[in-house]
Chain A
Amino acid sequence: MISFLSLNRRTVGLAVILLVVILLEALEVRASIYPGLLPYFEWLKNSSWLGYLGTTYGSVYATVEAGHLISMAVIGGTILATDLRLLGVLFRDIPSEIITAGTFKCFKVSLVCAIATGIFCAAGVADKVYYMEVFWIKMLTLLTGSCFMIFIKQPLLSSRPHSEINPWILRLLAVTSILIWFTVAATGRWIGFS
């Protein structure tokens, strides 16, 4: 049993997460937790130094927003290079193992920058974003996408030559990753319009 779990920890983990999500939804836990989150968002906007900086100094807020956009642009660049290579569109003459390994650190650094600047941006309008469905969609996609990239996609791609992986799995990983980061960026932009 223990050896089965340790040999299949990603699959078992995925099944457990799926089961927990279904259970939480069935028991309406999300709906009961949601109102309790409001005080934290109000604190973030009105009492934290992040919220104070963001609401008091417009120029600081706009500069951090620009940093957020630049981080997202770099994420886009790494995704474009990696996933279009996996789809066989770009860099066809360079092994996909090299492209995947060579861009992942850059992806991680830009993801950390995007999250750090994103927290600052959200703090300045925390009482507004709390009520936005699109904000929660973005957060959910960001969380799921980050876990997918760090615990699923990269470990598989760095574990063996890509010729040993079914090409359809590589395509699935690439399309999923492109759609994840498109959704994160598009929903992020839509927060500004809502």
Chain B
Amino acid sequence: MNESNKWDDKQIAAVGSGVIILGALLFYWIGEGQSTVELLELAYGSFKFFNNPLVF
């Protein structure tokens, strides 16, 4: 790796924006996952896709 180019503007901006966007999107999807599990538990009494004891 070229040492002089190691941490220039483009790379710092790429890492900064990448970490922020990735973090925000992961936060969003984990939150969505949690609320989905809560809703399914509320609807079916436990985390199931269907209201049928024979099916997961």
Residues of A participating in the B interface, judged by any CB pair closer than 8 Å: 7-11, 13-15, 18, 137, 141, 144-145, 148, 152-153, 155-156, 159-160, 163-166, 169, 172-173, 175-176, 179-180, 183
Contacts and interface: CB of A to CB of B under 8 A. Distances in A.
Given A137-B28, A141-B25, A183-B28, A176 B18 contact: yes
Contacts of B5: 160, 164
Nearest to A137: B28
A184 to B, nearest CB: 10
A165 B21 contact: no
Interface in B1-31: 1-2, 5-6, 9-22, 25-26, 28-29
Interface of B: 1-2, 5-6, 9-22, 25-26, 28-29
Contacts of B20: 18
A156 B22 contact: no
B11 A165 contact: yes
Contact of B17 (A14, A137, A164): A14
B10 A173 contact: no
Contacts, number: 74
B18 A159 contact: no
Given A8-B12, A165-B11, A148 B17 contact: yes
B24 to A, nearest CB: 8
Contact of A153 (B6, B14, B19, B22): B14
A31 to B, nearest CB: 19
28 contacts: A9-B9, A10-B13, A11-B12, A13-B13, A15-B16, A137-B28, A141-B25, A152-B10, A152-B17, A152-B18, A155-B10, A156-B10, A159-B10, A160-B2, A164-B1, A164-B2, A164-B5, A166-B1, A166-B6, A166-B11, A169-B15, A172-B14, A172-B15, A172-B18, A173-B14, A176-B17, A176-B18, A183-B25
A135 to B, nearest CB: 14
Given A10-B9, A183-B28, A144 B14 contact: no
A176 B24 CA distance: 10
A180 B11 contact: no
Contacts of B12: 8, 10-11
B13 to A, nearest CB: 4
